[in-house]
Amino acid sequence: MHRGSFASIAVLAQAAGSLAKSVNYDWNITWVIASPDGFTRPVIGINDAWPCPLVEANVGDIVTINVNNKLGNETTGLHFHGINQISTNNMDGAVGVNQCPLPPDYKVQYLFYADAPGTYWYHSHSMGQYPDGLRGPLIIHDPQDPYQDQYDEEVILTMSDWYRDQTPPLIQAMIDPNNTNFAPPIPNSTIVNDGADSHINVEPGKTYRLRLINWSAMFSTFIQFDALDMTVIMIDSSYVKNQTVQNLRISAAQRSDVLITIPSDADRNFPYLVAMDLNQDFADPDPPRPIQFPFNVTGQLVTDAEKSTDGNLTVQKFEPYDDVTFSPHDDEAALGPVTKRWLLNFAYCHDVNGYPRACFNESTYIAQKVPALYSAASLGDNNTRPDAYGPIGAFVVEYGEILEIVVNNNNEAIHPFHLHGHQFQVLARPGSNAGNWSEDVELNALPPRRDTVAVNPKSYAVFRIKADNPGVFLFHCHVEWHVELGLTATLIEAPDRLVNYTIPQDHMDACDALGIPTTGNAAGNVDWDNTDGFVTVPPTVYIGSLYGEAAEAAANATNTTSTTSTTSTASTTSITSTTETT
């Protein structure tokens, strides 16, 4: 098999110039015992440590990450959120779509080209493993950063909700028929920097680029730094025209890069507030229950460690800047004319067994046997037939088409939708209760781009992409619990260019070890329309990664560290609230 019309990755790197290099990481994925919010539990880490390490490269580099699964009796996989995966769709890491699950004691290499600068993150795209800890920052530096003269240093700040229970029992309880209001699990705390220090050392007079990353499983956060302005320069991994704001709302999976200048006459430390938004709709003037922010973390920008770090920050009302009004830095106009539209109506639903699910167009995503990319690579020109892929919400778009994606959110809560492989243009994302999209809605002619957008309750959003990145890409809500309820669809982009696409041998070996076919339709049948073996009913018993005896033995075998993680209560708060959100 050959790579068809793909540029080879070496050619891509050469085009980036002589400074391009290869950046390599060797990782064992391991269980680690940690207490990020003061409560000790098993988490999934890397090389016997947690929080997970930073991946860093420059634009033009080739990043290789050798991953060895040391979880004992559990499979895994890594996805690189926001990375376009130009020519390397087989490295996108979504388990069941771009690869098979990686079995215990199997190794696989991820290799991709750092085509675009930005603040990214990586995480497991399998079995709810990222709320269990398997996530970390991924930064692609830009030698041609248009803002590089405007800041002195950069700092990564991650924020997240945190659960004290492992995810499998939480998900099993959520998909129970008695969960009549589709309630997701409620976190126990908010953590900053995965429980490590929330103090950021700064110097008066300097400007910092803060790379804010939200890797919540569920909730969004508001963030504000004392009375200091934030100048937003990038959202997700797209530069915007600099815009000064006071506070931001960052949904699960979103990133914001902001510049903050410490006054040169500063004689104190500056508290910042990260407030988890547990509201279904923070903008609702008449909310169904009182607006509350039960999980706050106050961190400090520390100019002088001798001075007080007890200061708190109170915000009367969060009025975050509307992120669809940012302007793209490169002035790229709205793509058009649209040649194909993908209309996705989201609503909760039930499967034939009466189990709660989430649906696009009345269908819930049901994982199949053969990774969809492997079907696309092996079905010849029958890979353009959506029905070959089973009930995974497949939608086919031809190379070069201008695709408009419309999402109608028929639910009373905000949901952050994400597309793999693209920074999409956001042409419309009105406020709550705007109703469903219609042909005559107003569109932004100079839309911002990002890869995750929070769609408001009882409202809609309109995105556009150019279908120039052949591959199989998921479109899904980034609330991990909603992924587990099936709120995912699959874009089959330029399938004619995926015919005979090469899958590396180590990725094939992972399938072989588990007896998963690597060719044919969703069930591995040679005939695309032979549906024998398709999975048509979602399983009622949830199988996830649980720390148990086999895991402990594996952890004992690899554990060479004497201290596994930092524990700090300075950066966390928790209460035992049982507020419910749907």
Ligand X SMILES: *[C@@H]1O[C@H](CO)[C@@H](O)[C@H](O)[C@H]1NC(C)=O
Contacting residues toward ligand X, per CB under 6 A: 26, 28, 31-33, 39, 47, 68, 70, 73-74, 159, 164, 173, 176, 178-179, 186, 188, 214, 216, 218-221, 223, 242-244, 250-252, 274-277, 293-294, 296, 310-312, 314-315, 380-382, 416, 499-500, 528-529, 546, 548-550, 552-553, 555-559, 561-562, 564, 576, 578
Residue 482 binds: one of ligand X, Cu ion, none (C-beta under 5 to 8 A by kind): Cu ion
Strands (DSSP E) found in 398-478? 402-409, 415-419, 424-428, 449-450, 452-455, 459-466, 471-477
Rank residues 290 and 337 by Cβ distance to ligand X and give the closer one.
290
Give the closest residue to 451 by CA, choosing from 463, 459, 461: 463
Residue 372 binds: one of ligand X, Cu ion, none (C-beta under 5 to 8 A by kind): none
Shortest Cβ distance from residue 218 to ligand X (Å)? 6
Rank residues 72 and 187 by Cβ distance to Cu ion and give the closer one.
187
Amino acid at 99: Q
Q: How deeply is 474 buried, as exposed, middle or buried, from its count of CB atoms within 10 A (0-12, 13-18, 19+)?
A: buried
Residue 350 binds: one of Cu ion, ligand X, none (C-beta under 5 to 8 A by kind): none
Strands (DSSP E) found in 339-382? 340-350, 356-360
| 3-class secondary structure, 327 | coil
Rank residues 311 and 533 by Cβ distance to ligand X and give the closer one.
311
Shortest Cβ distance from residue 324 to ligand X (Å)? 16
Rank residues 91 and 413 by Cβ distance to Cu ion and give the closer one.
413
Residue 477 binds: one of ligand X, Cu ion, none (C-beta under 5 to 8 A by kind): Cu ion
Shortest Cβ distance from residue 182 to Cu ion (Å)? 10
Residue 214 binds: one of Cu ion, ligand X, none (C-beta under 5 to 8 A by kind): ligand X
Q: Which residue's entry shows tokens 């120039």? A: 468
Give the closest residue to 463 by CA, choosing from 484, 481, 489: 489
Shortest Cβ distance from residue 219 to ligand X (Å)? 3
Residue 500 binds: one of ligand X, Cu ion, none (C-beta under 5 to 8 A by kind): ligand X
Q: How deeply is 254 buried, as exposed, middle or buried, from its count of CB atoms within 10 A (0-12, 13-18, 19+)?
A: buried
Q: How many helices (H) and strands (E) does the chain have?
A: 6, 31
Residue 409 binds: one of Cu ion, ligand X, none (C-beta under 5 to 8 A by kind): none
Rank residues 13 and 572 by Cβ distance to ligand X and give the closer one.
572
Rank residues 218 and 372 by Cβ distance to Cu ion and give the closer one.
218
From CA 395, how far away is CA 401, in angstroms rounded?
Answer: 13
Rank residues 429 and 482 by Cβ distance to Cu ion and give the closer one.
482
For the record, the structure tokens of 281 come out as 């709709």
Which spans of this chain sit near Cu ion (rule: CB under 5 A)? 415, 477, 479, 482
Of all residues in the shown chain, the one whose CB is closest to ligand X is 221
Q: Angle 227-232-237 (CA atoms, 0-180°, nearest 5)?
A: 145
Task: Determine what percent of the chain falls in helix, strand and coil, rounding each to the nearest 5.
Answer: 10, 35, 55
